[in-house]
Amino acid sequence: MAASNQVWLIDDDTTLTELLSEYLEQNNFSVRCFDNGEPLLAALNKDESPDIMVLDIMMPGLTGLQLLPAIRNHVDTPVIMLTGRGDEIDRILGLELGADDYMAKPCNPRELLARIQAIVRRYQAAPTQSQGGQQIDHQGVNLDMGMLTCSYQDQTVDLTGIEFSVLAELVNNAGNLVSKADLTERVLHRKLTAYDRSIDVHVSRVRQKLKAAGLENDVIKTVRGKGYQFIK
């Protein structure tokens, strides 16, 4: 990773952010810390943004769940949310609001670094829109693998980076079952763990957005207890 890659840590736990900052900087990231939402929003209003954000859910004033929609209104920068270990509802809400991934607190700095590196690599590997790329079309759903854009019958489907990756995996394997474990490893670059519903929520959001774009039939079939299949 080049030193130009910047992480914003948004958390009122200054002891934690100091620890994470030191570890990330040792691994060639520059770090900027915010202990509440107001200075974060001020920076976004100045058109500043990092390569990735790590956002705590529980903060005084504006919570992470309140800040995430505001972040998404400004930028599509990937966001990892930090949640209480037992707060499954908050994790699901964070994903539904557009977070790319989540980690339970207290988090292991090494694991957080691995998550950050995987997500940043994915975003930086994306070609620029001027390059274009392979067009994949199934059931009227069109994916431009170069521009990383999705449309349904010329209606743009506004997907996050993770959602696009989930849909691309399913479309590229149209007609075949893709297990939740495989989707988790290919898209989130980590092993599927017990009670992990990240992929389920991302698939649900893809379905909702396709429906909002006018797709009447659900083209993503759930195979209970196994995974998902894009209907060919």
CA separation for the pair 228, 232 (Å, rounded): 12
The architecture in CATH of the region 6-125 reads: 3-Layer(aba) Sandwich (3.40)
Alpha-helix runs per DSSP H in 8-158 = 14-26, 37-45, 64-74, 88-96, 109-125
Token representation of residue 149: 């854009």
Q: Which residue, chain included where needed, has tokens 């620890």?
A: 19
Question: What pLDDT shows up at residue 154?
Answer: 85
Contact call for residues 57 and 65 (beta carbons, < 8 A): yes
Contact call for residues 13 and 59 (beta carbons, < 8 A): no
Specify the pTM: 0.81
Strand partners, 55: 10, 81
pLDDT tens, residue by residue, 176-205:
999 999 999 999 888 998 888 899 999 999
Question: What pLDDT shows up at residue 181?
Answer: 96
- Residue 106: band (very low, low, confident or very high) from pLDDT cuts 50, 70, 90: confident
The structural domains of the chain, with segments of one domain joined by +, span: 6-125, 135-230
pLDDT tens, residue by residue, 72-82:
888 889 999 99
Question: What pLDDT shows up at residue 85?
Answer: 63
| Residue 104, H or E segment | strand 101-105
Task: Please tell me if the domain spanning 6-125 has the same topology as the one spanning 135-230.
Answer: no
83 versus 220: the higher-pLDDT residue is: 220
Asked whether residue 84 carries a pLDDT value surpassing 90, the answer given is: no
C-alpha pair distances (Å), 78 with each of 142, 162, 230? 23, 9, 25
Class of domain 135-230: mainly alpha
Q: How is residue 13 annotated by DSSP?
A: -
| Residue 80, H or E segment | strand 79-84
pLDDT tens, residue by residue, 123-170:
776 544 444 568 889 989 999 988 888 999 889 999 988 899 999 999
